[in-house]
């Protein structure tokens, strides 16, 4: 376990280093910060002054060392937009995003288990067809469009839910449902197919033959065994939501989380703020990945940590 954790932490550091390299290359070598961050009307002298002030006229190697040094102390520079340390803004907005992800994924996880299991009881039956088609349908809807349609229906036509922003609990409903739909579709289809596979196993036949009640077989054995791939996918859903897939939902519903902040940073050409968001999320993903690996081990003792 100890060696495993060390190896995973080392790998996590490689991930952060990789992100650092890509961000450095993209912002300093391919892109031109002066061009992105200064207005079009800036003169050459102003550009040169900006480059000098930011240290962008020094050799690339020296720039990279300063860059890494700043990052290791969580110093991402001041946000050009809000004129304060970028990392402060990130920590302010992060809870909003986490709440949205928690609610959306919680919804997807709790609904997908019963729906998927129901479909698996009779493959090809009515419930199964509804679930399979519903799943394919849920995977085919672009999230931004789904969100706008729901705003149109529930907020504009029926006027029962707020269109956007934060406030009471009712503000959570539409963004959380929008975020949940594609995850729900994927998780539901996975539960369905793994429970079908489990119910066809020999041990289920044995359990039936010796007279075990069906719902004990289903809940005690089939669903429980289906839980391992389910958790893998649920973990992946969480990570990819964290990795930026909330951007679309947050933009549609004006939800003041990290995603919307990233879009605002892009609009205002605030590379420092964007950089701070990318790094915070990268570090969080590394940590979540390690926690998930440990969790699998606890759930399924057969898994060897390597």
Partner 1 sequence: MAVTTHAAPPTAAKPRSGSFRPIALELWHDKAGMIGFTVIVLLILMAVFAPLIAPYDPAIQSVAARLKPPAWLPKGSWEHVLGTDQLGRDVLSRVIYGARASLLVGTSVVLLAGTFGVLFGLFAGFKGGRIDDLMMRLVDIQVAFPGLLMILLIISAVGPSLSTMIVVLAVTNWMIYARVVRGIVLSVRQTPYVEAAEMIGCKPGRVLFKHILPNLTSPLLTLGILEFTNIVLAEAAMSFLGLGVQPPATSWGLDVSNGKDYIFVAWWLITFPGLSISITVLSINLFANWLRVTTDPQEREKRFARLKAVERRRNGAPAGAPAKA
Give the residues lining the site for partner 1 (CB under 8 A): 11-12, 14-15, 18-19, 22-23, 26-27, 30-31, 33, 36, 124, 136-137, 139-145, 148-149, 151-152, 156, 240, 242-245, 247-248, 251-252, 262-263, 266, 269, 271, 274-275, 277-278, 281-282, 285-286, 289
Q: Please say which residue, 217 or 248, places its beta carbon nearer to partner 1.
A: 248
Q: Which uninterrupted H or E stretch holds 163? A: none
How buried is 131 (Cβ within 10 angstroms: 0-12 exposed, 13-18 middle, 19+ buried)?
buried
Residue closer to partner 1, measured from CB, 10 or 215: 10
CA dist list (Å): 134 to 112, 180, 219, 230, 254: 12, 14, 24, 19, 28
Cβ distance to partner 1 smaller for residue 32 or 75: 32
CA dist., res. 192 & res. 161, Å (int): 33
> Which of 231/243 has CB closer to partner 1?
243
Nearer to partner 1, 32 or 212 (CB): 32
Beta bridge partners of 78: 85
Q: Which of 63/289 has CB closer to partner 1? A: 289
Q: How near is the Cβ of 262 to partner 1 at its closest, in Å?
A: 6
Residue 159 DSSP class: -
Place of tokens 């919804």: 107
* Least Cβ distance, residue 34 to partner 1 (angstroms): 12
Record the tokens describing residue 225, joined without a space: 């065994």
Distances (CA, A) of 70 to 138, 141, 153, 161, 274: 43, 42, 48, 44, 15
CA–CA dist 227, 234 (Å, integer): 10
Tokens representing 261 are 């902040």
**Judged by CB, which is closer to partner 1: 212, or 231?**
231
Exposure letters 39-77 (e unless 16+ CB within 10 A, then b): eeeeeeeebeebbeebebeeeeeebeeebeeebeeeebb
Question: Least separation, in Å, of the C-beta of 183 and partner 1?
Answer: 14
Cβ at position 3, least distance to partner 1 in Å: 17
| Shortest distance, position 6 Cβ to partner 1, whole Å | 15
Residue 216 CB, nearest distance to partner 1 (Å)? 26
Residue 161: phi and psi, rounded to 5, are -130, 150
Contact by Cβ (8 Å): 170, 183: no
Between 172 and 272, whose beta carbon lies closer to partner 1? Answer: 272
């Amino acid at each position: 376990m100890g060696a495993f954790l060390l190896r995973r932490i080392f790998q996590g550091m490689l991930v952060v280093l990789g992100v650092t390299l890509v961000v450095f290359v993209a912002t300093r070598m391919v892109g031109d910060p002066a061009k992105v961050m200064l207005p079009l009307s800036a003169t050459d002298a102003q550009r040169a002054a900006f480059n000098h002030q930011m240290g962008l006229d020094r050799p690339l190697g020296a720039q990279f060392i300063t860059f890494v040094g700043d990052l290791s102390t969580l110093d991402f520079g001041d946000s050009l937009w809000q004129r304060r340390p970028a990392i402060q803004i990130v920590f302010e907005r992060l809870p909003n995003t986490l709440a949205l992800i928690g609610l959306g994924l919680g919804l997807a996880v709790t609904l997908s288990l019963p729906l998927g299991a129901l479909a698996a009881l009779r493959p090809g039956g009515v419930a199964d067809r509804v679930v399979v088609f519903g799943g394919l349908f849920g995977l085919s809807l672009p999230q931004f469009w789904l969100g706008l349609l729901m705003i149109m229906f529930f907020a504009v036509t029926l006027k029962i839910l707020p269109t956007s922003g934060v406030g009471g609990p009712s503000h959570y409903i539409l963004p959380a449902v929008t975020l949940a739909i594609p995850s729900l579709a994927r998780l539901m289809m996975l539960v369905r197919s793994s429970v079908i596979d489990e119910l066809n196993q020999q041990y289920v036949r044995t359990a039936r033959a010796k007279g075990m009640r069906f719902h004990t077989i289903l809940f005690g054995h089939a669903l429980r065994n289906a839980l391992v791939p389910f958790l893998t996918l649920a973990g992946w859903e969480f990570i990819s939501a964290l990795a930026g897939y909330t951007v679309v939902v947050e933009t549609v519903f004006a939800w003041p989380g990290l995603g919307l902040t990233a879009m605002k940073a892009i609009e205002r050409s605030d590379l420092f703020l964007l950089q701070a968001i990318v790094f915070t999320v990268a570090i969080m993903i590394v940590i979540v990945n390690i926690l998930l690996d440990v969790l699998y081990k606890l759930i399924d003792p057969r898994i060897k940590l390597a």
